[in-house]
Structure 1
Amino acid sequence: MKSLLGAAIAATVLYSTVPTDASAGAMSRACMASDRSAATNRMCRCIQKVANRNLSRSDQRLAASFFKDPHKAQEVRQSDNRSHEKFWLRYKDFGSVVSSSCS
C-alpha cells in the first residue's frame, strides 16, 4: 500500500513539474470542458494555438473563464475599467483570427 501511495505522489509531483503541451492550456481545457457541440479536440487545440500567439497567459485565463460563465464576457465588454477595454480589443482580434484559422 505504501509503495502504491508513494508512486501516486511521485506521479503527481512529476506531472505538476513537467511542462504541458500547448493543447493543454487554459483555453483548450475550458473549450473541452464546455458543453458546446463544436468543442472537438481539433477545434479546441486550434483555439489554444491561436491564443498562444495572440493572448498573454492572463488574457487566456480571463477568456477561458467565459466558457464557464458567458455573462462574464458581457461584464468585461461593458466595463469602464481601462484594462478590460484593452483586453476586449485584443480578445476581438483573437476571435477574428480563430474564425479565419479554426473553421
Structure 2
Amino acid sequence: MRQTMRKILIAAALAAVTMPLAPATLEARAIEGACNRSDRAGASRALCACVQQVANQHLTRADQRQAARFFSDPDRAQATRVSRSDRDRAFWQRYRAFADAAEGRCR
C-alpha cells in the first residue's frame, strides 16, 4: 500500500512538472511548422529550422504564432505592417528585426 501511494505521488509530481512544458514545446516551432507547410519555392527543412532558430532569439512565442500566420495569409502581414495600432507597430519592428536577422543567417 505504501509503495503504491509513493508511486502515485511520484507520477503526479512528474506530471505536474512536465505538463506545463508540453504545450510550450509544441508552440515553440510555430514558424518552422508554417514554413514547412508553405508552398514557397526554396523552402526546405533546413531553411525552415534555421528561420525557427532565429525566431527563438528575436520573437516571443506569441510573436511567433502571429508571424506564422503570415505564411498562410500574406494579407495579414500587410494589414499589420500598415496598421496604426501601437501594438501592431511594435510587433512589426520586432518582426522586421527577426526577418533581417533570418535573411542574413539562413541562406
TM-score bracket, normalised by the shorter chain, equals 0.7 to 0.9
**Which structure would you say has the larger Rg?**
2
Q: How many pairs align?
A: 88
1:54 paired with 2:58, answer yes
1:71 paired with 2:79, answer no
Aligned match of 2:106:
102
What residue ranges of structure 2 are gaps of 5+ in the alignment?
1-21
1:1-103 alignment, distance < 5 Å: 17=22, 20=25, 25-103=29-107
CA distance in 2, matches of 1:18, 1:80: 32
Runs of 4 or more consecutive aligned structure 1 residues displaced over 2 Å after TM superposition: 17-22
CA distance in 2, matches of 1:102, 1:68: 21
Per the normalisation by structure 1, the TM-score is 0.77
What residue ranges of structure 1 are gaps of 5+ in the alignment?
1-16
Per the normalisation by structure 2, the TM-score is 0.75
RMSD in angstroms over aligned alpha carbons? Answer: 2.2
TM-superposed CA distance for 1:39, in Å, is 1.3
TM-superposed CA distance for 1:37, in Å, is 1.7
Q: Supply the AA of the counterpart residue of 1:61.
A: R
Change (3 A) 1:37 1:18: same
